């Protein structure tokens, strides 16, 4: 009796290996594309107004990159360690305000003021994190919210005329490098925002893949089990808190350059809620989800405002014109739709498409296997 070995189709295997290897390089290709954006005159109707490389579009894209990086850093707490903080805006504002005030009050050059602003943000995160992490769960969230509210009130009260109150503080142009001042140098600001994005993604990726990152994952899944293994979760959580706060303070400095000043809106808890929406929109706990969510949210926040004030909306009946003329309504509706239709965030969309294709092809595959079984039985 001769036994025939099952035939294995290996044709797809060798072809798929180069494709998988090539797919690993897509971040480098995307980075190259982003780097040459200031040189592009390509129009993107519906997404941007005018050429991509125009100063206005460059600033919008730079803001998208900054908030994408900021959401990526915030996800170290929410998605990687399981810490829901409502005070992350405080460290972003610390980098912005401290850098600005040091230039205005002490006449420091931007580089020195930025380093001190970064140090102030890291120190503030270490101090407030050490206190907040003494409690867990909803208690931790409430403590961080209390600190954020205190910081927001302090900025608005304008003690000694330092913070500028509700108007904020403008950055002194004479203290900034000449290459970072003026509309003609918007490309330089864009490249700084891109560098901040690359640095944040690199640091977060390295931290998550480190032994400390694996402990963060264990804390998120089951903190009690980490304690049973002989590890102290408090120190690991404080490390994530300080690292995320330091990255936020650095982002605040870049934001100061892009907007030309420090504003009290960056100190409110609403700002942190926006970061939370960005992370959930893109996909919490994933590598690229918070980045995608931050970019989409920032772009939509700016572009939907133009849509709400457009003539197309103004000509609609009142029952439609009133809600559609509110940018926050449009943004909220978009967020609800994405969360409802794409659980897990936008980053899970390719997986869902592949799963849908698999379900579509499964009946024929199943029918084929049933037919073969009947033939063998006969």
Domain residue spans in the chain?
A: 50-269
Q: How far apart are CA 238 and CA 245, in angstroms?
A: 10
Going 181 to 187 to 190 to 194, the CA torsion angle's sign is negative
| pLDDT tens digits along 201-231 | 999 999 999 999 999 999 999 999 999 988 9
* Residue 164, both tokens: 């500028």
pLDDT at 373 > cutoff 60: no
So what's the pLDDT on residue 117? 95
| pLDDT tens digits along 231-271 | 999 999 999 999 999 999 999 999 999 999 898 888 887 88
Q: Considering the entire predicted model, what is its pTM?
A: 0.85
* Residue 147, both tokens: 């600190």
* C-alpha distances out from residue 118 to 13, 187, 203, Å: 49, 23, 16
Which contiguous run of DSSP H or E holds residue 170? strand 169-170
Higher pLDDT, 259 or 23: 259
So what's the pLDDT on residue 303? 78
Q: Cβ atoms within 10 A of the Cβ of 62, count?
A: 27
Percent of the chain whose pLDDT exceeds 90: 50
| pLDDT tens digits along 277-311 | 999 999 998 889 999 999 999 998 887 777 666 66
Q: Cβ atoms within 10 A of the Cβ of 170, count?
A: 14
Q: Which of 334, 358, 256, 297 is nearest to 67 (CA)?
A: 297
So what's the pLDDT on residue 244? 96
Looking at the chain, the number of H-run helices and the number of E-run strands are: 15, 2
Q: Which of 240, 242, 204, 264 is nearest to 128 (CA)?
A: 242
So what's the pLDDT on residue 331? 74
Which contiguous run of DSSP H or E holds residue 359? helix 349-377
Rg (CA), the chain: 25
């Amino acid at each position: 009796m001769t036994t025939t070995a099952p035939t294995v189709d290996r044709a797809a295997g060798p072809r798929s290996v180069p494709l998988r290897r090539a797919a690993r390089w897509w971040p480098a290709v995307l980075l190259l594309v982003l780097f040459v954006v200031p040189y592009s005159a390509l129009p993107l109707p519906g997404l941007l107004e005018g050429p991509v490389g125009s100063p206005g579009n460059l600033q919008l894209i730079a803001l998208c990159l900054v908030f994408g990086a900021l959401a990526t850093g915030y996800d170290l707490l929410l998605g990687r360690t399981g810490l829901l903080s409502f005070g992350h805006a405080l460290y972003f504002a610390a980098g912005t305000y401290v850098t600005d005030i040091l230039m205005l009050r002490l006449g420091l050059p931007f580089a020195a003021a930025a380093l001190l602003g970064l140090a102030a943000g890291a120190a503030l995160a270490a101090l407030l994190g050490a206190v907040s992490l003494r409690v867990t769960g909803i208690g931790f969230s409430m403590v961080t919210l209390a600190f954020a509210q205190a910081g927001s009130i302090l900025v608005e009260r304008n003690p000694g005329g330092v913070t500028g109150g509700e108007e904020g503080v403008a950055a002194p142009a004479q203290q900034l490098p000449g290459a970072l001042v003026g509309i003609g140098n918007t490309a330089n600001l864009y490249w700084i925002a891109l560098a901040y994005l690359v640095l944040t993604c690199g640091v977060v990726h390295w931290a998550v893949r480190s032994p400390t990152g694996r402990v963060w994952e264990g804390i998120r899944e089951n903190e009690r089990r980490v304690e049973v293994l002989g590890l102290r979760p408090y120190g690991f959580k404080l490390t994530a808190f300080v690292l995320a706060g330091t990255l936020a303070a650095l982002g605040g400095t870049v934001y100061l350059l892009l907007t030309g000043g420090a504003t009290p809106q960056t100190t409110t808890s609403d700002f942190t809620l926006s970061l939370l929406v960005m992370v959930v929109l893109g996909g919490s706990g994933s590598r690229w989800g918070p980045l995608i969510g931050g970019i989409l949210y920032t772009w939509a926040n700016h572009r939907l405002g133009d849509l709400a004030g457009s003539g197309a909306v103004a000509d609609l009946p009142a029952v439609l014109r009133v809600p559609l003329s509110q940018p926050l309504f449009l943004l909220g509706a978009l967020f609800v739709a994405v969360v409802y239709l794409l659980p897990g965030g936008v980053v899970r969309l390719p997986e869902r498409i592949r799963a849908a294709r698999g379900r579509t092809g499964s009946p024929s595959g199943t029918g084929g296997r049933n037919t073969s079984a009947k033939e063998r039985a006969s």
